[in-house]
């Protein structure tokens, strides 16, 4: 089926560069989505979304049902976590995460009882049009909905970044440009109405006027299925806000900014939100979950995962409960083939390699890709850059990767920023086209990390410097105060002595006891400076009491909604 194409829509704007690449979607995409059988144990990391980790609300030993809240969102940008099936909480402990660094993090471990009993759902809202945007947002938040295209940004927070009535266009992302992955394709074929109904909920929540659906031209069946529902909605309900835009199959057409550029011609610069341009972009899988959460009252407890690659026996799409160990998912797809040596979460272009398969499927897991050496470039030796510029010709962010590479290799990170390092979206196109097989993206990630680190160090050093200066100033001030007091005291003593001497002289007395008088001086001075210090401390305390109500209320706020696009260090904004 990979050769079948549907006509590309007219009036598209496209984007610079990109990569035509064999899509490998066929074997998995040919089969309907199947339900993954239940397993014995589920592991739910508390931090499987962008933002703050969720806070557990259950105790080990507690019995739970499917859909029951296990952990609540801790912040504006955070997401709830629900039980994927019924069972008993076995533990809340650190478990290995699907993470490029192979980290462990606190997770809720659920021992399934195999009965899969459902918890009481939220109130179903078939009348969602009568609900306010705030109510819908809080429902999405309660239901743990996050972006399922891979970014896992909490959807409620995303909607909240749009000013009321500030969204004109909802962009539905069904491009699915990464090779191998077909979960969105299958979803569009099998549940087009759920996707579009969910989009209606979002259109209502942000009061948008139209919805553009971007789908790559290598998914003719998805386009047909979606179009059929759109036509029916138009005929039956006079719903005319939907429009499918078939975009050319070129990686990374499904990148949020690239898709928006393709559909509208608008380029969203780094550091700006999509909502600044009166748009909102959601993955098709996300809106399907929005419909389930708002209209059916169900929490997010499962997602479709593509299991693909030459490393699995039976590539297919599976409906997998969140928290299922990946080893079981691979097993459900027939197990590994001979010679598999790489397991990825995500697609081959942007996905990351996993250290092991004993990690859970999380909300971001759109694909499990098992590869053999024959399925990819078997780690060739990097050669020197020959400055052929293929990377620059292919870069969808219009960068000059060969120059950034040159400077990041030389650790000249400021020059990297001159060449807009932080506009790199790490899509991997440059590395893929490089005839010298240089891992360019790896260099760029390294350079970014180094710059972030340097920024942090600089901020720390600045803080330390200020503290040191303040400390010195205080010491100086105290010294000056002490000396002033001392001088005053001395003058007083001297005056007294002179008076005494005059009196003694008048009586015709002997030598004054100079040495003992000196000792008295010191004692008296010490007494005075202690008294002065006491007074200062009292004054400080009184002042602090006056100010304390203000200082407490001022420090508690946290910045919100900034986690996604502007999650860079302050230094990232330093160029331009």
Q: Which of residues 111-170 bind another protein (CB under 8 A)?
A: 166
Please state the closest distance from residue 451 (CB atom) to another protein, in A.
17
* Selected range binding another protein among 208-216, 436-444, 495-503, 557-565, rule: CB under 8 A: 436-444
Interface with another protein includes 497 (CB under 8 A)? Answer: no
Q: Which of 127, 175, 178, 130 is nearest to 281 (CA)?
A: 175
Beta bridge partners of 170: 211, 280
Which window, 121-129, 204-212, 432-440, 528-536, contacts another protein (CB under 8 A)? 432-440
CA-based nearest residue to 185, from 226, 136, 147: 226
Residue among 221, 232, 342, 568 that touches another protein (CB under 8 A): 342
From the list 111-119, 185-193, 265-273, 548-556, the region that binds another protein by CB under 8 A is 265-273
Q: How far is the CB of 445 from another protein (least distance, A)?
A: 8
Sheet strand arrangement including 342-345:
34-35, 316-321, 302-308, 367-371, 342-345, 352-353
Q: Cβ 568 to another protein, closest distance in Å?
A: 15
Out of 41, 116, 357, 450, which residue is the one contacting another protein (CB under 8 A)?
357
User: Which pairing describes strands 302-308 and 316-321: parallel, antiparallel, or unpaired?
Assistant: antiparallel
CA 83 – CA 13 distance, rounded (Å): 44
Helix (H, G, I), strand (E, B) or coil at 328: helix
Enumerate residues 6+ apart whose C-beta is below 8 A from 85: 38, 42, 66, 110, 112, 113, 116, 301, 321
Residue 321 Cβ, how far from another protein at the closest point, in Å? Answer: 21
Q: Which residues 189-248 are close enough to bind another protein by CB under 8 A?
A: none
Q: Which is nearer to another protein, 141 or 564 (CB)?
A: 564
CB nearer to another protein: give 79 or 451. Answer: 451
| Closer by beta carbon to another protein, 174 or else 179 | 179
Span near another protein by CB under 8 A; candidates 57-65, 388-396, 465-473, 556-564: 388-396
435 binds another protein (CB under 8 A): yes
Q: Total number of residues binding another protein (CB under 8 A)?
A: 78
* Residue in the block written with tokens 């909604």: 561
Q: Select 352 or 453, whichever has its Cβ closest to another protein.
A: 352
Angle at CA 114, nearest 5°, toward 108 and 117? Answer: 85
Which one among 253, 259, 369, 404 touches another protein, defined by CB under 8 A? 369
* Interface residue with another protein, options 52, 375, 405, 417 (CB under 8 A): 375
Q: What is the DSSP pairing of strand 34-35 with strand 316-321?
A: parallel
β-pair type (169-174, 279-283): parallel
Those residues with Cβ within 8 angstroms of residue 310's Cβ, 6 or more apart along the chain or in another chain: 337, 340, 370, 371, 372, 374, 375
Cα–Cα distance, 175 to 169 (Å, whole number):
17
Query: Which residue, among 396, 390, 393, 399, has the nearest Cα to 438 in the 3D structure?
Result: 390
Residues from 446 through 465 that contact another protein (CB under 8 A):
none
Q: Which stretch binds another protein (CB under 8 A): 74-82, 103-111, 344-352, 491-499?
A: 344-352
**Looking only at residues 500 through 559 of this chain, which bind another protein when binding is defined by CB under 8 A?**
none
Q: Kindly give the residue spans of alpha helices, DSSP state H, lying in 508-559.
A: 514-555
Q: Name every residue whose Cβ is closer than 8 Å to that of residue 106 and which is 6 or more positions away in sequence.
A: 45, 46, 47, 53, 92, 93, 94, 95
Task: Choose one: 371-379, 475-483, 549-557, 566-574; the region binding another protein (CB under 8 A).
Answer: 371-379
Interface residue with another protein among 148, 206, 433, 451 (CB under 8 A) is 433
Choosing from 27, 220, 439, 517, the residue that interacts with another protein (CB under 8 A) is 439
Report how far Cα 519 is from the mean position of its chain's Cα atoms.
68
Q: Cα angle at 189 between 184 and 191, to 5 degrees?
A: 85
Residue among 223 and 368 whose Cβ is closer to another protein:
368
Q: Which long-range contacts (CB under 8 A, 24 or more apart) does 563-566 make?
A: 563/50, 563/51, 563/77, 563/153, 564/50, 564/151, 564/153, 564/158, 564/273, 565/270, 565/271, 565/272, 565/273, 566/271
Residue 387 or 479 with smaller CB distance to another protein: 387
Binding mask of the shown chain, residues 5 to 44, with x at each position contacting another protein by CB under 8 A:
----------xx--x-xx----------------------
Handedness of CA 540, 546, 547, 549 (dihedral sign): positive
The footprint of another protein on residues 406-425 (CB under 8 A) is 419-420, 423
| Residue among 548 and 576 whose Cβ is closer to another protein | 576
User: Which residues have CB under 8 Å from 391's CB, separation 6+?
Assistant: 400, 401, 402, 405, 429, 430, 433, 434, 440
Q: Is 359 in the site for another protein (CB under 8 A)?
A: no
Among 4, 134, 234, 386, binds another protein (CB under 8 A): 386
The answer to whether the CB of 369 falls within 8 A of the CB of 347 is yes
For another protein, the binding residue among 389, 497, 566, 569 (CB under 8 A) is 389
Residue 573 interacts with another protein (CB under 8 A)? no
- Residues numbered 271-310 forming contacts with another protein, rule: CB under 8 A: 272, 276-278
567 binds another protein (CB under 8 A): no
- Choose between 264 and 569: whose C-beta lies nearer to another protein: 264
Query: With contact defined as beta carbons under 8 Å apart, do 358 and 325 qualify?
Result: yes
Segment lying near another protein (by CB under 8 A), choices 4-12, 105-113, 394-402, 453-461 = 394-402
As measured in angstroms, the least distance from the Cβ of 55 to another protein is: 31
Q: Does 400 bind another protein (CB under 8 A)?
A: yes
Residues in 310-339 at the binding interface with another protein, rule: CB under 8 A: 327, 336
Question: What does each C-alpha distance from 11 to 8, 241, 261, 264, 320 come to in angstroms?
Answer: 10, 18, 12, 9, 38
Among residues 88, 313, 442, 569, which is the contact residue for another protein, using CB under 8 A? 442
Give the nearest distance from C-beta 560 to another protein in angstroms.
18
99 binds another protein (CB under 8 A): no
Nearer to another protein, 65 or 420 (CB): 420
CA 501/CA 515 separation, integer angstroms: 15
């Amino acid at each position: 089926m990979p050769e079948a194409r549907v006509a590309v829509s007219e009036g598209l704007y496209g984007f610079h560069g990109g990569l035509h690449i064999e899509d490998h979607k066929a074997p998995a995409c040919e089969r309907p989505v199947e339900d993954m059988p239940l397993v014995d144990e589920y592991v739910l990391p508390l931090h499987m979304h962008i933002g703050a980790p969720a806070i557990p609300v259950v105790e080990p030993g507690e019995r739970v049902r499917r859909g029951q809240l296990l952990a609540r969102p801790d912040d504006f940008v955070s997401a709830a976590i629900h039980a994927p099936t019924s069972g008993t909480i076995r533990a809340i402990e650190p478990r290995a995460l699907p993470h490029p660094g192979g980290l462990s993090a606190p997770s809720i471990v659920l021992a399934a009882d195999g009965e899969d009993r459902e918890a009481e759902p939220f109130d179903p809202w078939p009348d969602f049009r009568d609900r306010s945007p705030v109510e819908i947002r809080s429902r999405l938040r309660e239901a743990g909905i996050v972006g399922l295209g891979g970014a896992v940004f909490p959807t409620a927070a995303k909607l909240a970044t749009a000013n009321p009535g500030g969204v004109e266009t909802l962009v539905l992302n069904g491009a699915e440009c990464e090779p191998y992955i077909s979960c969105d394709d299958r979803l569009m074929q099998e549940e087009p109405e759920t996707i579009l109904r969910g989009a209606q909920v979002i259109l209502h929540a942000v009061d948008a006027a139209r919805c553009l659906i971007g789908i790559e031209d290598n998914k003719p069946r998805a386009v047909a299925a979606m179009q059929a529902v759109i036509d029916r909605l138009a005929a039956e309900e006079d719903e005319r806000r939907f429009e499918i835009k078939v975009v050319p199959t070129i990686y990374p057409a499904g990148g949020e900014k690239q898709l928006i550029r393709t559909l509208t011609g608008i380029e969203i610069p780094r550091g700006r939100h999509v909502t600044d341009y009166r748009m909102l972009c959601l993955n098709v899988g996300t809106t399907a979950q929005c419909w389930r959460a708002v209209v059916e009252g169900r929490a997010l407890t499962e997602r479709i995962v593509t299991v693909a690659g030459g490393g699995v026996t039976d590539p297919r799409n599976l409906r997998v409960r969140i928290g299922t160990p990946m080893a079981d998912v691979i097993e459900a797809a027939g197990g590994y083939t001979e010679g598999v040596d790489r397991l990825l979460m995500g697609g081959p272009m942007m996905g990351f390699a996993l250290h092991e398969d004993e990690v859970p499927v999380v909300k971001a897991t759109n694909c499990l890709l098992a590869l053999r050496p024959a399925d990819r470039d078997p780690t060739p030796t990097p050669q020197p850059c020959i400055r052929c510029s293929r990377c620059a010709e292919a870069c969808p962010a219009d960068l000059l990767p060969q120059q950034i590479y040159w400077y990041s290799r030389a650790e000249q990170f400021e020059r990297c920023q001159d060449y807009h390092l932080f506009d790199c979206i790490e899509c991997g196109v440059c590395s893929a086209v490089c005839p010298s097989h240089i891992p360019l993206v790896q260099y760029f990630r390294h350079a970014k990390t180094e710059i972030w680190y340097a920024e942090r160090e600089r901020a720390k050093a600045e803080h330390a410097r200020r503290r040191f200066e303040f400390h010195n100033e205080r010491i100086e001030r105290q010294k000056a105060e002490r000396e002033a007091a001392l001088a005053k005291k001395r003058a007083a003593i001297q005056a007294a002595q002179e008076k005494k001497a005059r009196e003694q002289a008048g009586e015709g007395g002997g030598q004054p006891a100079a040495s003992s008088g000196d000792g008295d001086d010191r004692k008296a001075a010490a007494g005075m400076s202690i008294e002065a210090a006491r007074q200062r401390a009292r004054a400080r305390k009184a002042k602090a009491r006056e100010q304390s109500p203000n200082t407490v209320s001022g420090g508690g706020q946290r910045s919100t909604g900034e986690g996604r696009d502007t999650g860079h260090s302050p230094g990232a904004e330093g160029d331009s």
